[in-house]
């Protein structure tokens, strides 16, 4: 890797490189990855040298104070050595190019009726507050509101640094246990919401041929809004080869709805292809965090006990009130670390 780092450093000095944008992005991504490894590797070599020097002082030096200082330094360096080794092992896992992609999140109410739609709204707030905390941008693409103030379904994009890498493991069934506001006897109800996290694809990454697309326009439906049932602004795209259907009606403009629908369709087609690739290489690169299958129950939110449990990694936290405010880094970090550890077990590093 040190040899490759030297090669990449030469490549990025070549003014011709920037003419090929795809190659330029790939090389810069590799340079960033290798830089972090080389910095850690340099520190590791310094630690090993420091250990040898400290041992030499303890063995050969006559000065008592010097020996004591060397012993203290040796203790610190020997504690640091395995930490660096673990860190470097993690870094040696090749980065997934999808990690840097922006995403589209689709949240759909499941079992539980109104309570499910209200929890869909709560999850939307949790993710968008998390985006605010991280300095990411988000945009609602489409929303189907219910009369009680929830969502039958809502889709939105999040853009920023390392978005997919952070939120990729949120796909699945999120179960909620709490007392609904309409429940007079204080009984706890269980509802479920489905979350799908799709990496957003560039136009160049997914080809959608005009002859494979059927476009229908219709009047928007749903509660409220001046354009509802008055103009043919809603758009339905059907991708004939796969049967995928995307309906977009959030904007008053048909053109804007079509553009948003194309973004969602492109992301779904991209995810479909990625799922096929993942299935083909599952034996070589199995990640035990979860399959990403939307039918997989991944998490339970128990409001009476202020408890969140992620069933994939047996993580339980008793601070659900804080988590619902968007402070989900502890969960995200635990999932990412677990995924890398599992990947490391299945690698040859």
- In this prediction, residue 224 carries a pLDDT of 46
- In this prediction, residue 227 carries a pLDDT of 43
3-state secondary structure at position 65: helix
By CB neighbour count within 10 A (0-12 exposed, 13-18 middle, 19+ buried), where does 202 fall? exposed
25 plus 154 within the same structural domain: no
Position 287 confidence tier, pLDDT thresholds 50, 70, 90: very low
pLDDT of 308 > 70? The answer is yes
pLDDT of 317 > 50? The answer is yes
Q: Which token pair is 147?
A: 């009369």
Position 271 confidence tier, pLDDT thresholds 50, 70, 90: confident
Q: How many other C-beta atoms lie within 10 A of the C-beta of residue 218? A: 13
Q: Which of 91, 113, 128 is the last residue of a domain?
A: 91
196 plus 110 within the same structural domain: yes
108 plus 171 within the same structural domain: yes
52 plus 192 within the same structural domain: no
- In this prediction, residue 348 carries a pLDDT of 53
178 plus 148 within the same structural domain: yes
Structural domains counted in the chain: 3
Q: Which residues contact 240 (CB under 8 A, 6 or more apart)?
A: 212, 213, 214
Position 284 confidence tier, pLDDT thresholds 50, 70, 90: very low
Residue range of the domain that includes 107:
98-204+284-345
Specify the residue for token string 């160049």: 204
102 plus 171 within the same structural domain: yes
51 plus 177 within the same structural domain: no
Cα gap 295→314, rounded to integer Å: 19
The per-residue pLDDT for range 120-151, each reduced to its tens digit, is 999 999 999 999 999 999 999 888 898 888 99
**Contact present, 158 and 136 (Cβ < 8 Å):** yes
82 plus 107 within the same structural domain: no
128 plus 171 within the same structural domain: yes
Q: Which token pair is 131?
A: 């985006």
The per-residue pLDDT for range 50-79, each reduced to its tens digit, is 999 999 999 988 888 898 999 999 999 999
Q: How many other C-beta atoms lie within 10 A of the C-beta of residue 102? A: 21
pLDDT of 106 > 90? The answer is yes
185 plus 136 within the same structural domain: yes
CATH of residue 251: 3.30.160.20
**Contact present, 341 and 87 (Cβ < 8 Å):** no
Q: Which of 279, 310, 330 is the last residue of a domain?
A: 279
Cα gap 290→243, rounded to integer Å: 26
**Contact present, 219 and 230 (Cβ < 8 Å):** yes
The per-residue pLDDT for range 19-31, each reduced to its tens digit, is 888 888 889 888 9
200 plus 301 within the same structural domain: yes
Which has the closest alpha carbon to 151: 105, 110, 202? 110
- In this prediction, residue 247 carries a pLDDT of 87
Q: Which of 73, 91, 109 is the last residue of a domain?
A: 91
The per-residue pLDDT for range 213-270, each reduced to its tens digit, is 898 888 776 554 444 445 678 888 999 988 889 888 877 788 888 888 888 898 888 8
Cα gap 44→57, rounded to integer Å: 20
């Amino acid at each position: 890797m040190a040899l490759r780092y030297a090669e990449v450093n030469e490549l990025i000095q070549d003014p011709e490189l920037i003419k090929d944008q795809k190659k330029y992005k790939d090389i810069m991504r590799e340079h960033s990855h290798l830089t972090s490894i080389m910095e850690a590797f340099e520190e590791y070599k310094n630690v090993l040298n420091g250990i040898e020097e400290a041992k030499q002082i303890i063995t050969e030096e006559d000065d008592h104070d010097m020996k004591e200082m060397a012993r203290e330094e040796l203790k610190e360096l020997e504690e640091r050595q395995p930490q660096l080794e673990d860190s470097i092992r993690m870094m040696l896992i090749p980065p997934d190019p999808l990690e840097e992609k922006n995403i589209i999140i689709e949240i759909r109410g499941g079992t539980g009726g109104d309570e499910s739609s209200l929890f869909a709204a709560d999850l939307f707030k949790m993710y968008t507050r998390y985006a605010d905390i991280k300095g990411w941008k988000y945009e609602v693409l489409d929303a189907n509101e219910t009369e009680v103030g929830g969502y039958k379904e809502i889709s939105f994009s999040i853009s920023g640094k390392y978005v997919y890498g952070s939120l990729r493991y949120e796909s699945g069934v999120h179960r909620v246990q709490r007392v609904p506001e309409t429940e007079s006897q204080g009984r706890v109800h269980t509802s479920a919401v489905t979350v799908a996290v799709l990496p957003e694809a560039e136009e160049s990454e997914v080809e959608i041929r005009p002859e494979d697309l059927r476009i229908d326009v219709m009047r928007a439906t749903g509660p409220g809004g001046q354009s509802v049932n008055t103009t043919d602004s809603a758009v339905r795209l059907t991708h004939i080869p796969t049967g995928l259907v995307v309906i977009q009606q959030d904007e008053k403009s048909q053109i804007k709805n079509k553009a948003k629908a194309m973004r969602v369709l492109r992301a779904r087609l991209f995810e479909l292809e990625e799922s096929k690739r993942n299935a083909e290489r599952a034996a070589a690169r199995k990640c035990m965090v979860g399959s990403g299958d939307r039918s997989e129950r991944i998490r339970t939110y128990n409001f009476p006990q202020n408890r969140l449990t992620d069933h994939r990694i047996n993580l339980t936290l008793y601070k659900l009130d804080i988590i619902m405010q968007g402070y989900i880094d502890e969960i995200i970090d635990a999932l990412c670390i677990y995924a890398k550890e599992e990947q490391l077990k299945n690698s040859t590093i």
